[in-house]
Amino acid sequence: MDRFSTERDVVPLLGDWAARPGPLYRSLAGALTRAVHDGALAPGDRLPAERRLARTLGVSRATVVAAYEELRGGGLLVSRQGSGTRIAPDLRVRPPAADGRVPGGTATTIFQRLIDGPGELISMAVAAGGAVPQLADVLRELVRDDLDDLLADHGYHPGGLPALRVAIAAHLTGTGLPTAPEEVLVTTGAHQGLVLVTQLYLAPGATVVVESPNWPGCLDVFRSAGARLVTVPLDDEGPSVAALGAVLRERAPALLYLMPTYHNPTGLLMSATRRRRIAELAAVHGVPVLEDNASMTYHSESGDAPPPLAAYAPPGAEMLSLGSLAKAVWGGLRIGWVRGPAEIVQRLARRKVLADIASPVLDQALAARLLPRLEEILAVRSGELRRRLDHIDGLLRERLPSWRWRRPDGGGALWVELPGVNAVAFAQVAARYGVDVVPGAAMDPDGGHHSHLRLPYTFPPETLDELVHRLARAWAEFERHGPVPAVRVIV
């Protein structure tokens, strides 16, 4: 079976090809060449038909025809009647990712943007800001008061620095989830926690239930374990109870993965009633639950968030909770945690030892000092985010009145619906105006939400001004002329 045969498979591998200078057909040919040399496309893989790829990319068919012709001329592609266009089966390429680019997956473009840096593009791949001012204060305190003792320590704490495990347990207890330090594993970011839980629960072929839409980086972790993804839709309170009940009953999944507090990308806050019902459903069907609360650090516009999902779990239910300081404090402070039954935490700790032995001690010591101040930090950051949300809300209503969005309960992004337009096609136009758009189809394992895009509002006001200005220009171009016109070049 072909690894790649549809435009949905190939488009995420092309990155920001449309933003590159020069004729579009050459930019597309260059992006396909890079995907081959990265190992994302392999010899023998079939490419989409020209017309279908052109429609998805928002360009004319002539652009794709010219790109394919150039690559056939260079020996990278071959075309045969009845079998379509393929990467040349006998092509020799250097080892995958030899140039340091991120290999395939739906999150390829997002993670590659972090590596490449912003350049002239405004990237919508990351909804995060700079560090909070309190981080510098705590760092100075740490150097003044505790550095000698920390440096005298051996530095290896696979479960986490004891002081930090105590601080995390106290923090979670304060949110309504009683927690003991031995129920906490410190991880190098919430992402590592997700990877460790995946390794523990998901064998190849296992089923994991996820909300739709979802964050591509999480979906790719599950896919890398060989898991099958089954989706449940969201309503205004969280995952549909009827749909979830049917899936749990019929599919007997190995794991249920949810984002109850400021879901990414919708910003939805799951209600307390829905949390209780889902916890009961999971317990009845004996399905382990992983709740990802990495974005729970932003206060709801309608008041404080309910306690974590695990607080509603009946006795004996197997429920794990992910957390992180990345959104609240700084993405560069790579401190996360997994909270769960002590025996499960021990099993995860053994896997963490194999991954990195232990998380950095200085980072953990900073986190231990920051957690008691977290409410103060959140109050300031939440107010700032609400002002930025108000700002972009006004800009969009003025400049892009046909776009639709639900004002999020929290988080750092809008989930925008474009009127009858495939966001993948619009993304190609937006790139020509200097905006790196993440289309909704990349966030749906079933390929739905194709008319949506994720629009972060964590940028400073002046950047939001420029972002909406560029998007409005791109949208005017798209509405006026449709797909980006091609320059037909005879090769």
Q: Answer whether 282's CB lies under 8 Å from 428's CB.
A: no
Q: Tell me: the pLDDT tens digits for 416-443?
A: 999 999 998 899 899 889 999 989 998 9
Domains and CATH numbers, the chain: 7-99 (1.10.10.10), 122-131+376-481 (3.90.1150.10), 133-374 (3.40.640.10)
Specify the higher pLDDT residue, 322 or 5: 322
Confirm if 66 and 489 have CB atoms less than 8 A apart.
yes
- How far is residue 166's CA from residue 164's CA, in Å, rounded to a whole number? 5
For the cut 50, the answer to whether the pLDDT of residue 472 exceeds it is yes
Above 50 in pLDDT, residue 252? yes
Model confidence, pTM:
0.83
The answer to whether residues 309 and 258 touch, using CB atoms and an 8 Å cutoff, is yes
Per-residue pLDDT tens over the stretch 304-361: 789 999 999 999 899 999 999 998 899 999 999 999 999 999 999 999 999 999 999 9
The pLDDT value given to residue 12: 80
Task: Please give the structure tokens belonging to residue 74.
Answer: 């260079």
Q: Is the peptide bond before 213 cis (omega within 30 degrees of 0)?
A: yes
pLDDT in tens, 443-455: 999 989 999 999 9
pLDDT at 99: 43
Average pLDDT over all residues of the chain: 89
Q: 369, exposed or middle or buried, with CB in 10 Å at 0-12, 13-18, 19+?
A: buried
More confident position, 75 or 39: 75
User: Which amino acid is located at 400 in the chain?
Assistant: L
Examine the pLDDT at 100 and tell me if it is beyond 60.
no
